[in-house]
Copies of this chain bind each other. A is one copy, B any other.
Amino acid sequence: MPNDTAILLIHSPDQPGLVHDVTGFIFAHGGNIVDLQQHIDPEENAFFMRVAWTLEKFTLDTEEIASRFAIIARRHQMRWKLRFASNRHRLALLVSKESHCLYDLLSRHESGELPVDIPLIISNHDLLRSASERFGIPFHHFPVTKDNKAEVEQQQLALLREHRIDTVVLARYMQIISAGFVEAYPDNIINIHHSFLPAFVGAKPYHQAYERGVKIIGATSHYVTADLDQGPIIHQDITRVTHEDSVRDLVRIGKDLEKNVLAGALWSHVTNKVLVYRNKTIVFA
């Protein structure tokens, strides 16, 4: 692991000396910090930090890092996450009938732009099987009905565990995920909603936008929680529209937003730049 980088994401009550203590730990074992960002929420007296350092001359191995840092963390009541840049996230893509986000992620993956593993694609329809298999990714079709939904989710979760998936991407997956499924992947299920949340929650947001006569449409990528479209927002973007644009135009124009917003949120997630806090995100630059 000569050229690897370790990343710590930290959240704790604020108090003097936190940065000094954490950087002291890194310095003491030969690490060189390549990125450090810190954020304070003064109202909540909360401290947030992301620090990345090179492991080239680091004197602790990966397991020791965690066990030693835990001592510091305990002292300051820190919640923390340790990641290594070389440890690629393992993604499952969940899709339905729309192909644009799927193709977008698969082509980013194939070109090496998106440094992740994608062991499988899951769908409630069989429509995108060929799109998936063309890129060499196994495709699993789970027809979902009202009656079998709970059972299907159990099968899906078993499959995700089997493939050691850590991040579930809802790439225009048009099924509502149950609270139980969400609990299995807290802050690790990423959805793309085709509106500028909190505007136009729920079904057919482009129709809602057309009816309201907005001059800008948007897309929002967020972590999924038990409340529909209410999870912590990771990334958003917008495009101007005019009275010339029909609902069909909004759908077409919106696809470009959806692709880039989902990919942008995913980038922050897989580069370990996101902290979740009180149903909001800290997205370090």
- By a beta-carbon cutoff of 8 Å, the part of chain A in contact with chain B is 14-20, 23-24, 26-27, 30-40, 42, 48, 98-100, 103-104, 107-108, 110-111, 113, 134-135, 196-200, 212-216, 218, 232-238, 240, 242-244, 246, 252, 255-256, 260, 263, 279-283, 285
Contact = CB atoms under 8 A, between A and B. Distances in A.
A241 to B, nearest CB: 10
Contacts of A242: 283, 285
Contacts of A17: 23, 27
A49 to B, nearest CB: 8
Contact of A218 (B216, B280, B282): B216
Contacts of A20: 20, 23-24, 26-27
A233 B260 contact: no
Given A17-B27, A32-B16, A235 B218 contact: no
Contact of A37 (B32, B37, B42, B279): B37
Given A39-B244, A214-B236, 18 more contacts: A14-B32, A16-B33, A17-B23, A19-B33, A34-B40, A99-B107, A103-B107, A196-B199, A197-B199, A197-B212, A197-B214, A198-B214, A212-B280, A215-B233, A215-B236, A216-B218, A216-B236, A256-B263
A165 to B, nearest CB: 24
A141 B178 CA distance: 50
A182 to B, nearest CB: 18
A166 to B, nearest CB: 22
Contacts of A200: 198
Given A33-B38, A196-B199, A113 B16 contact: no
Contacts of A18: 33
A133 to B, nearest CB: 10
A278 to B, nearest CB: 8
Nearest to A19: B23
